Amino acid sequence: MVHLSMGCGGALYKKDVVLTAAHCMSGSGNNTSITVTAGVNDLNSSAAIKVKSKKVKVAPGYNGNGKDWALIKLARPIDKPTLKIATTAQYNRGTFTIAGWGDTEEGANTGTTKLRKASVPFVADRVCKRHYGNRLVSKEELCAGWQSGGIDTCQGDSGGPMFRKDDAGKFIQVGIVSWGDGCARAGVPGVYTEVSHFASDIARAAAAL
């Protein structure tokens, strides 16, 4: 898990490539303006590894509706574990971990300096549509959250990973924090990019970065 200087999260897809949300990026191309912070929970820690971006690739066809993924090529590799992404839909179920430095309540607009994490259950598209209707791009997005609210991702968590363990006990990324109506409201799940749907596009884009 990494922090991005514009106030988003991300995950190390390769030692020198970060997977994040397209809506955190200003577009594709050479970009040396992003500072990626890795290796620490506390952003103010003196142990923080800080690496600049070199290039950004936003998902082909991204227009603000679905396809909310992007890759950042780093100026140098970060010697930390990468997070494997889901390549099939089989892990799009169960309970997920979400994590980030984002707001701890809706409207706070401050974020946190220490990384926080929480668990949220999968919410079926049919149930998620009770709130979002056709604003949910079912094939490209995945919902998660508690019906009773109270625990969720929020502003500043965008781009960060939603993950779980696979059948071999290894962490696997199933989602990217994308959007939602407010934060932690009852009956309003968080919406995440469905990573498995884009796994081959992501692999291809990373190889070409």
- φ, ψ of residue 74 to 5 degrees: the values are -90, 155
The least CB distance from residue 93 to ligand 4AZ, in Å, is 19
Q: Using CB under 6 A as the criterion, what x/- string covers residues 71-90 for binding ligand 4AZ? A: --------------------
Report which secondary-structure segment, H or E, holds 199. Answer: helix 195-208
The answer to whether residue 158 is catalytic is yes
Catalytic one of 3, 16, 53, 68 = 68
The least CB distance from residue 151 to ligand 4AZ, in Å, is 10
Spatial separation of the C-alpha atoms in residues 146 and 167, rounded to whole Å: 24
Residue 180 sits in the site that holds ligand 4AZ (CB under 6 A): yes
Q: Enumerate the H helices of 12-161 as residue ranges.
A: 125-132
The least CB distance from residue 6 to ligand 4AZ, in Å, is 11
Spatial separation of the C-alpha atoms in residues 98 and 157, rounded to whole Å: 9
Location of structure tokens 């924090």:
177
Sole binder of ligand 4AZ in the list 20, 155, 193, 196 (CB under 6 A): 155
The answer to whether residue 28 is catalytic is no
Give whole-number Cα distances, 104 to 11, 148, 164, in Å.
20, 17, 22
8 A C-beta contact, residue 116 and residue 145: no
The least CB distance from residue 75 to ligand 4AZ, in Å, is 26
Sole binder of ligand 4AZ in the list 12, 56, 190, 198 (CB under 6 A): 190
Residue 153 sits in the site that holds ligand 4AZ (CB under 6 A): yes
Residues 6 or more apart in contact with residue 63 via CB below 8 angstroms? none
Sole binder of ligand 4AZ in the list 36, 157, 173, 205 (CB under 6 A): 157
Q: Choose between 9 and 196: whose C-beta lies nearer to ligand 4AZ.
A: 9
Identify the CA nearest to 54 among candidates 30, 18, 78, 84. 30
By CB under 6 A, name the binding residues for ligand 4AZ.
152-155, 157-158, 177, 179-180, 183, 190
